[in-house]
């Protein structure tokens, strides 16, 4: 059983940056594909980014590609999402997830989820 705890969300202005972190415990972190998803009010949960076990290969949603960066530190059991140049459309609850399939953008492919961290971007 893997436990995931997100942190780093907050209220920022458009153009600001945030760095989300996800701390994992209870499992062999390096065995899992790690992903970030987000869910805005009234919308379905959507894929943001994922990173493979070794961290060398990443996958991004078109909406954040070239802007957000996902990274992982297997020695510290953490995964991060660097989010510069934030836009109001980035406002959502951001979730960290752990799974075993690659490549995948599907929430159903991830086995473990954190509770989420709120990101609010004001215009």
pLDDT exceeds 90 at position 104: no
Task: Please measure the distance between the N-terminal and C-terminal CA atoms of the chain and give it in whole angstroms.
Answer: 40
pLDDT in tens, 44-74: 999 999 999 887 899 999 999 999 999 999 9
Residue 100: the pLDDT is 80
Residue 54 tokens read as 């070794």
Query: How confident is residue 30, by pLDDT bands cut at 50, 70 and 90?
Result: confident
- Identify whether the C-beta of residue 49 lies closer than 8 Å to the C-beta of residue 59: yes
Q: Check residue 54 and give its pLDDT.
A: 83
For residue 103, how many other CB atoms are within 10 A of its CB? 12
Q: Tell me what the pLDDT averaged over the chain comes to.
A: 95
Task: Reply yes or no on whether the pLDDT at 103 is more than 90.
Answer: no
């Amino acid at each position: 059983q893997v436990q995931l705890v997100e942190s780093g969300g907050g209220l920022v202005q458009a153009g600001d940056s945030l760095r989300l972190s996800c701390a994992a415990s209870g499992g062999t972190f390096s065995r899992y594909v790690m992903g970030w998803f987000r869910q805005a009010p009234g919308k379905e949960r959507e894929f943001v980014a994922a990173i493979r076990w070794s961290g060398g290969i990443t996958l991004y949603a078109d909406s954040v590609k070239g802007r957000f960066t996902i990274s992982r530190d297997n020695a510290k059991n953490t995964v991060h999402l660097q989010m510069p140049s934030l836009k109001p459309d980035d406002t959502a609850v951001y979730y960290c997830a752990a799974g075993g399939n690659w490549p995948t953008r599907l929430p159903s492919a991830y086995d473990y989820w954190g509770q989420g961290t709120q990101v609010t971007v004001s215009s």
